[in-house]
Amino acid sequence: MNLTDQQIRAIKEGEPVPVLPPEIGEECVMLRKDVYERISRLLDDGPVSDEECARLGWESGRKIGWETPEMAEYDNYDARKP
């Protein structure tokens, strides 16, 4: 399988990469083995704890910039509502 530079970078960063193998004919997702194992543990261990949900939420939020100074104004959004 030949991957683009963008796909290789995404995999190295632990991101999922959609692929469409002609042999299968359906879209699949390629993950690093450690990422797959982490996800499968979450799915196989029954319900996810509130703490794990919160941690995963903050982790994904950090990746999209929630902790930047520009986003700090949303920390007290409700208090500033008219």
Query: Model confidence over 18-37: pLDDT tens digits?
Result: 988 888 889 999 999 998 88
- 37-59 pLDDT tens trace: 888 877 766 677 888 888 888 88
Taking 70 as the threshold, does the pLDDT of residue 11 lie above it? yes
pTM of the model: 0.45
Residue 46: predicted pLDDT:
66
Please state, in angstroms and rounded to a whole number, the distance separating the CA atoms of residues 60 and 49: 17
3-state helix, strand, coil in the chain (%, to 5): 55, 5, 40
Taking 80 as the threshold, does the pLDDT of residue 63 lie above it? yes
Taking 80 as the threshold, does the pLDDT of residue 77 lie above it? no
Map out the domains of the chain as residue ranges. Answer: 5-80
